[in-house]
Amino acid sequence: MPDAPLISVRELSKQFRTFKRREGVWGAIQNLVKRDYRTVQAVDRVTFEIQRGDMVGYIGPNGAGKSTTIKMLTGILVPTGGEIHSNGYVPWKQRRQYVKTIGVVFGQRTQLWWDIAVIESFKLLRKIYDVPQRDYDERMELFNAVLKLNDYLHTPVRKLSLGERMRCDLAAALLHNPPILFLDEPTIGLDVVAKDHIRQFLKEINQRYRTTVLLTTHDLDDIEELCKRIMIIDHGRLLYDGPLALLKQKLLRTKQVKFVVKDSEQAARIAVLEKDGRKIEAVDHLTYRIVFDRAEVSTAELLRQILAEVEVRDLLIEDEPIEEIVKRIYAGEALKEVSA
Amino acid sequence: MGPGVRKHVELLVAYAVQFIKVRLAYRADFLISTGASMLATAFAFGFLVVLFQKVPQLAGWKFEEVLFLYGFSLIPFGLFNVVSLNLYNFGNDFIIEGKFDRVLLRPVASLYQVIFEVFRIESLHEVVVGLLGVWLAASRLKLAWGPLEFVLLFFFALCGAVIYVAIFLMLTCVSFWVEDRVGVHPPVWNLIAFGRYPLSIYSGFVQFLLSWIIPFGFATYYPSVRLLGRPEFRVYAWLVPVVAATFLTMAIALWNRGVREYSSTGS
């Protein structure tokens, strides 16, 4: 018997009424009297379910409705239509009980107190969430081990680097061991090492506590590393909801072969491969790349040609980066064949 | 309710301890701000002394009685100043800068989090100076106080602080509906000073305004009349807690409506 979904979202919609602000003092007075309202459909009849323990990536271009969805899921915003049931609660109706069972990280904005040492923030949060001392100690130990918080626990948040701050924010969001974790761009602005730390930590938490994670991101490596399932939203509509692998399989159009020739003598011969409108890019003086459409060219045939013409020292076949696929989806490429 | 109350008190203490630590970390800033604040209080008392060298009485009030009123008015005012900082900053910091999202993500009442996040502890000196003024005036007036008056002194002071909080909280709520960077607080804030003198020196309109619209009179004047044992407006003293409770209830109701507005617009 399958479990009931932990999060269930049905026909979720959010409209904002905004108005154009006029400039200047006179404009401000006019604003008070007469406003030209415009309705913006930020989220448009979105439906999905998430099972306990899943890690789901939620992507879309800026302004697509990701953050608005997260804000409704966390109880900050009240939907204008549809329903949310999350961990047995209706978030906006039972906000105070509900938020005890979720952790939230907004990458752009810290949840910690700016001026006080990190450890003091944690102690305050322990009180706010009624975390027993023993649980607190146990979790802090884990967080220290994976996130290496010890080095800056006594530093005020405002003095932390972005990467350090993000680690602290993650730990803070998980102090009360919530079954659900919402992350809005958790790796934004971080360097490769910090990103890797965060991803390892999320994996660890997911495995250890079966924490359900929904994360929005612009970095598709986050998704590839963490999520089997991906949801794509644009203009408030859910365009795709399914396995990442399926998306790739259906929409993958090009592949690339990268190869290193033996020496500069071989490099000089490279032009012989330039036929059938094929383009060869030089990566450096011995490394070359050929991008090809996998529907038109067979990989085996291409490899055979390359190996026949030049002496190759190393060779790598890669799929089109997931970024390229997603870019094409945003640009309006039909998803019919996938969402079916 | 029981454990809930205990948790909130514990939280309040934790917030306050944290805040004081931070304040003391910036020692110079703290000292300068305290010094400036004390200087302002000292000047205000100086003004009172100068005033009474020119006029012996103010609407039938002796110098010591006005000193008492002035001193008493500083007690609720000081208490209010300790917790009011975020009321002024709310529109900017919480609504426009978006800190209110964080507040809504925590399992504690939103208003509680906003008010008790920062404290202007240097304002406690106003409470001390106010108590000194009251003590000085009371001893020169040889007031015959029983235990009830001492209890009333603190009870009234607390009610007064609640009245101030309620009024300014209502003004703060404007930020939920209007993006407001200028602030609607300063004009009303200036009215507080009116309550430091006997209301009887003002026109009927001002008396009405300070009693029933923006009831600062109930924070300072009417309690002082009772504590001084003066004959006028004696029954009004019983209305002090009623006014405080009514205005606080209205302010909290308005706040809750504001939070709902925020939740549907995200501002």
At A296-335, the pLDDT tens digits run 888 888 888 888 888 888 988 888 777 777 778 777 765 6
Q: Counting beta carbons within 10 angstroms of the beta carbon of residue B44, is it exposed (0 to 12), middle (13 to 18) or buried (19 or more)?
A: middle
Find the mean pLDDT for residues B176-196.
85
Total domain count, chain B: 1
CA B153 to centroid of chain Cα atoms: 15
CATH for A99: 3.40.50.300
Give the pairing of strands A212-216 and A180-184.
parallel
A289 or A29, which is more confident?
A289
Instruction: Note whether A308 and A223 are same-domain residues.
Output: no
Q: Is the pLDDT of residue A25 over 80?
A: no
Instruction: Give residue B97's pLDDT band: very low, low, confident or very high (50, 70, 90).
Output: confident
Average pLDDT over residues B147-166: 96
- A232 inside domain: yes
**One domain for residues A205 and A278:** no
For residue B144, name the pLDDT band (cuts at 50, 70, 90). confident
Distance CA B102, CA A173 (A): 11
* Token code pair at residue A12: 């979720």
In a domain, A334, yes or no: no
Distance separating alpha carbons of residues B155 and B178, to the nearest angstrom:
35
Q: Which range has the top average pLDDT, A171-185, B6-20, B166-180?
A: A171-185
Handedness of CA B19, A127, B266, B116 (dihedral sign): negative
Confidence of residue A340 (pLDDT cuts 50, 70, 90): very low
Least confident of A31-45, A229-243, B58-72, B215-229: A31-45
Check CB contact of A266 with chain B, cutoff 8 Å: no
A238 exposed, middle or buried (CB, 10 Å; 0-12, 13-18, 19+)?
buried
**Subunit contact B14:A95, Cβ cutoff 8 A:** no
Question: Once rounded to an integer, what is the mean pLDDT over residues B38-49?
Answer: 83
A324 falls within a domain: no
Q: What angle do CA A198, A201, A203 make, to 5 degrees?
A: 110
Residue range A55-75, pLDDT digits in tens: 999 998 888 899 999 999 999
Instruction: Please write the tens of the pLDDT for every residue from B214-256.
Output: 999 999 999 999 999 988 888 899 999 999 999 999 999 999 9
Task: Dig out the tokens for B104 from the structure.
Answer: 């809504």
- How many Å lie between the alpha carbon of A3 and the closest alpha carbon of chain B? 27
Domain final residue, candidates A201, A229, A249: A249
pLDDT at B42 over 60: yes
A20 in contact with chain B, both atoms CB, cutoff 8 A: no
Find the domain containing B11 and state its range. Answer: 2-265
Q: What is the mean pLDDT of chain B?
A: 90
The reported pLDDT for the residue numbered A111 is: 86
Question: Which chain B residues are Cβ-neighbours of A129 within 8 angstroms?
Answer: 107
- Indicate if A161 and A294 belong to the same structural domain: no
The confidence band for A266, taking pLDDT boundaries of 50, 70 and 90, is: confident
For range A166-187, the mean pLDDT: 94
CA-to-CA distance for B234 and A176, rounded, in angstroms?
54
Q: Is residue A332 part of a domain?
A: no
Compute the distance between CA of residue B50 and CA of residue B47 in angstroms, rounded to an integer.
5
Confirm whether A339 is domain-assigned. Answer: no
* pLDDT beyond 90 at A170: yes
- pLDDT of res. B180: 65
- Pair (A273, A165) in one structural domain: no
Asked if A23 reaches chain B (Cβ–Cβ under 8 Å), the answer is no
Question: pLDDT band at B152, cuts 50/70/90?
Answer: very high
Residue A315's domain is classified under what CATH number? 3.30.70.920
pLDDT at A192: 87
Cα torsion angle, B202, B205, B206, B209, sign: positive
Which of A249, A265, A288 terminates a domain? The answer is A249
The boundaries of the domain holding residue A281 are 254-319
- Evaluate whether residue A112 is within a structural domain: yes
Give the pairing of strands A237-243 and A229-234: antiparallel
- Extended strands (E) in chain B: none
- Maximum Cα–Cα distance across chain B: 59
Q: Between A118-128 and A162-174, two packed helices, what is the crossing angle to 10 degrees?
A: 20
Mean pLDDT of chain A: 87
Here the tokens at position B118 are: 């920062």
The per-residue pLDDT for A54 is 95
Chain A residues whose CB is inside 8 A of the B107 CB are 96-97, 99-100, 128-129
pLDDT at A84 over 60: yes
Domain count, chain A: 2
| pLDDT at A339 > cutoff 70 | no
Which of A208, A229, A249 is the C-terminal boundary of a domain? Answer: A249
Confidence at residue A88, expressed as pLDDT on a 0 to 100 scale = 94
- Please check whether residues A265 and A141 belong to one and the same domain: no
pLDDT on residue B150: 94
Based on the fold, state whether residues A153 and A199 are members of the same structural domain. yes
Q: Is residue A269 domain-resident?
A: yes
Residue (of A150, A132, A154) closest to A142 by Cα position: A150
Helix, strand, or coil here: A192? helix
- Contact between A52 and A6 under an 8 Å Cβ cutoff? The reply is yes
User: Do β-strands A102-106 and A180-184 pair in parallel, antiparallel, or remain unpaired?
Assistant: parallel
Residue B3 has pLDDT above 70, yes or no: no
Cβ separation A109–B98 shorter than 8 A: yes
> Does the distance separating the beta carbons of A75 and B22 come in below 8 Å?
no
Per-residue pLDDT, B1: 47
- Is A199 found in the same domain as A117? yes
ipTM attached to this prediction = 0.82
